Amino acid sequence: MKRLTMILTVAAMGASLAACSKKPAEPAAEASAPAAAPAPASGDNMAGMDMAGATMAKGTGTVTGIDKTAGAITIDHGPIAEANWPAMEMEFKATPATLLDTVKVGDKVSFELKMSGGTGEVTAIKAE
């Protein structure tokens, strides 16, 4: 599987580079190969994190910021398996915004996320 993923990744990179040329693109014959798996995420970079299929996720972490005006909370969280995310610090929208009244900066929390369009929205949070 790793070899197939590497071959598909290299092929996709070549196609991306070819698309950067200034010549008009010509239609190419499409192969019926499976899509390449996304690259693993690292650090604070969310690129390559596969969230396909995840609709809800749970995590734990420490609140590092609260922006009540924006309805957002920043959490330094551990890995979130359901979203295939590594540990990192992220800002999340909180719905309802009143969730932000239940925690403060520095609290260790457990939280639930509603996953949609590559992002997560905090729908429940509890100080531990």
Instruction: Assign 114 a pLDDT band (cuts: 50, 70, 90).
Output: very high
CB-CB contact of 122 with 99 (8 Å) = yes
pLDDT at res. 51? 42
pLDDT at res. 64? 98
Q: What is the pLDDT of residues 81-107, one digit of tens each?
A: 999 999 999 999 999 999 999 999 999
Domains belonging to the chain, first-starting first, are 1-37 (no CATH), 56-127 (2.40.50.320)
**Nearby residues of 40 by Cβ (< 8 Å), 6 or more positions away:** 48, 86
Instruction: Assign 60 a pLDDT band (cuts: 50, 70, 90).
Output: very high
| CA–CA dist 64, 77 (Å, integer) | 10
How high is the mean pLDDT of the chain?
74
> What is the Cα 25 distance to its own chain's centre?
31
Instruction: Assign 53 a pLDDT band (cuts: 50, 70, 90).
Output: low
When mean pLDDT is compared across 1-10, 71-80, 118-127, the lowest value belongs to 1-10
When mean pLDDT is compared across 26-35, 48-57, 68-77, the lowest value belongs to 26-35
> What is the Cα 38 distance to its own chain's centre?
12
Q: What is the pLDDT of residues 37-46, one digit of tens each?
A: 444 444 444 4
